[in-house]
Amino acid sequence: MKVDMATASNPAGRTPQDITHRRVLHVAVPIVLSNATVPILGAVDTGVVGQMGLAAPIGAVGIGAIILASLYWLFGFLRMGTSGLAAQAVGAGETAETGAIVMRALMIGMAGGAIFVVFQTPFIWGALLAAPASDEVEALAETYLRIRIWGAPATISIFAVTGWLIALERTRAVLVLQFWMNGLNILLDLWFVLGLGWGVEGVAIATLIAEWSGLALGLWFCRGAFAGDQWRDWARVFDPVRIKRMMAVNGDIMVRSIALNLMFVLFMFQAAAFGDVTLAVNQILLQFLEITAYALDGFAFAAEALVGQALGARMVASLRRAAILTSLWGAGACVAMAIGFAIFGPWLIDVMTTAPEVRAEARTYLWWVVFSPLVGMASWMLDGIFIGATRTRDMRRAALESLAIYVVALLLLVPLWGYNGLWLALYVSFVARAVTLWRRYPALEAAARP
């Protein structure tokens, strides 16, 4: 019966033993493609407002987007925690638990989004107070935030949907979901901003519509979880032991997410202190970094699913093989990204802005994003491995240690080398997180032994 349940959770009939290059690519490639559309969307947002020929709208969209991303990613544990827990349930053959997991996660997502909507005024006020931008940028950013905040319940709930689909290796569904959301967003961007002249407001409205339509499509993809009675087996859904484990995992990931997001918020705010032009340059360069992170996440997500299933089945050799194969493919992707940025970087900068001073300064600092895939690869891949194993306490500790090292690096390097020092401090944080996680990997394998 246990084998039948496992097969029902994994329609492809794969088992944790069957970890091959082909299976890694089967999971990873749709995620690479779908995640690549996310920073493309950011680039289009930036490029559309960049056609206005002014630095302030670019900076406003950049600050508004990173504020919301930081707030929402406090609930990023729903994507990661759901993925790890559901993958382990699949590996252990616990079909009923996979339905209960997605139900718990959706309840948390809707509740968390409602909190942001109800308390939007203090959230927005506090975030803009911390951002040292000009009055013009802050006014535009507030308009953007007050529109987009209404998409919070949908955006956070999509984290849960995506994590559940990844755990079951249904990454083609994730690809379709992202293509729908980001494709619709891009079309509405072009219509609202370039066609109707709505400016920053048009970018925000386009994203809001895409978020809610994306949740509806995602729930349809998860209809298998609601086909039986497991999703409304309230004794299981509210089981104290399982809830306690879920809360422990999610709590650790939340702390980890806060620490990592704080790094990027500090990075963005420090760039704002150099003036509106540098802030616009920083927003453009961050699109390259996001392209790297989202593309590499395809292989990190494959590690989550395959490592999680291997751990659920208590197969250490399969766990190790999953970690090695996904990391090898991740390294290859990073080399390709670095070469692509070196060749096409100047052209992409020109696409994203028409402001001459922004173009010139962005080219000056382009080399930082050329090397970022190579520097950040180990930390991103280890994240995926540890999420799949739900070794979230180790991730929390590594993130806090890395944040402390990053702050010290900022204090030392920015006064010495200005904007170059800001990027060097970010590089230091990548290396620090990789080292702190790698030190804890042996304990991860030990936990998977029968």
Q: What is the pLDDT of residue 363?
A: 92
- Please identify every stretch of the chain with a pLDDT value under 50, giving residue numbers as ranges: 1-13
The Cα 432–Cα 384 span in angstroms is: 16
Using CA atoms, how far apart are residues 28 and 83, in angstroms rounded to an integer?
14
Residue 52 confidence (pLDDT): 61
Q: How many other CB atoms are there within 10 angstroms of residue 219's CB atom?
A: 16
How many other C-beta atoms lie within 10 A of the C-beta of residue 435? 16
Burial (Cβ within 10 Å: 0-12, 13-18, ≥19) of residue 190: middle
The pLDDT value recorded for residue 48 is 73
Q: Cβ of 21: how many Cβ atoms within 10 Å? A: 11
Given a contact cutoff of 8 angstroms between Cβ atoms, the answer to whether 387 and 304 are in contact is: yes
pLDDT at 65: 77
pLDDT of residue 4: 36
Q: Which tokens sit at 181?
A: 């959301």
